[in-house]
Amino acid sequence: MLAHTLSQPQINSSIHKKQIWTYSDYYKLDDDKRYEVIEGELWMSPSPLYIHQKIQSKLGFILQNYVNEKSIGEILFSPLDVVLSKTNVLQPDIIYISNDNRKIIQRRGLFGAPDMVVEIISPSTTRRDLQVKKTIYEKFNINEFWVAYPDEKILENYIIKNMRYELFSSVITTGIIKSQALNDELEIGNIWE
């Protein structure tokens, strides 16, 4: 399997040709590019768009303030490795780890399932975020999966039930979103502009 992105199907570099990629293979890469290992395949991620970073910053600020005020855990941002298995190393845009789950925090990244992940949809990562990564998050029983759609100005929160995500709460532009992981409702202001 070759390293690939949705917009660039292959990287024509012999260093990236392998059958199955593992965390230790990935960790040895030294080319300053952003990668994820998904089911043993190496995926390269292009730099995020400006609007992606702006939404990540604003939503992250809301989540971080809430989590810090309540002293219930930690909010972290990509790029940070979330190592779910030898062949699944992902970098969600925003990550929440509760105090009860702090054991997954290690020097090189997070080793285990965080309590909540957030993906901000970009044109180059739509299929990967909504299909491929969502399936991995379900497989590893990540309790809550938030998806931000910049073009539609929609924020959705999915919770895991019977190893599948079900829509739990959503916000169009601004409003209240419910979170089981945070055990509360959060006011989401205009994170889109």
Q: Which amino acid is at 94?
A: I
pLDDT at 65: 97
Q: Does residue 13 lie in a domain region?
A: no
32 Cβ neighbours under 8 A, 6+ residues apart: none
Least Cα distance to 128 among 26, 45, 11, 18 occurs for 45
Mean pLDDT of the chain: 88
Q: Does residue 86 lie in a domain region?
A: yes
Q: How many distinct structural domains can be found in the chain?
A: 1
60 Cβ neighbours under 8 A, 6+ residues apart: 75, 77, 94
Q: What is the mean pLDDT of residues 27-44?
A: 83
Q: Does residue 1 lie in a domain region?
A: no
pLDDT at 17: 59
Q: How far from 92 is each of 10, 21, 137, 162, 176, CA to CA, in Å?
A: 22, 19, 10, 22, 22
Q: Does residue 37 lie in a domain region?
A: no
Q: What is the mean pLDDT of residues 3-25?
A: 53
Q: Does residue 29 lie in a domain region?
A: no
Q: What is the mean pLDDT of residues 123-143?
A: 90
pLDDT tens track for 138-175: 999 999 999 999 999 999 999 999 989 999 999 999 99
State the number of CA atoms in the 13 A half-sphere of 163 facing the CB: 4
Which residue has 């309590």 as its token pair? 115
pLDDT at 16: 54
Residue 71: pLDDT over 90: yes
Domain limits for position 160 = 50-188
The CATH number for 175's domain is 3.90.1570.10
Residue 1: pLDDT over 70: no
Q: Does residue 131 lie in a domain region?
A: yes
Q: How far from 146 is each of 19, 49, 159, 160, CA to CA, in Å?
A: 32, 19, 9, 11
CA atoms of 82 and 166, how far apart (whole Å): 22
pLDDT at 11: 35
Residue 7: pLDDT over 70: no
Residue 116: pLDDT over 70: yes
Buried b (16+ CB within 10 A) or exposed e, 178-192: ebebbeeebebeebb
Q: Does residue 39 lie in a domain region?
A: no
Q: Does residue 95 lie in a domain region?
A: yes
pLDDT at 114: 98
Please give the residue that has the higher pLDDT: either 128 or 115: 115
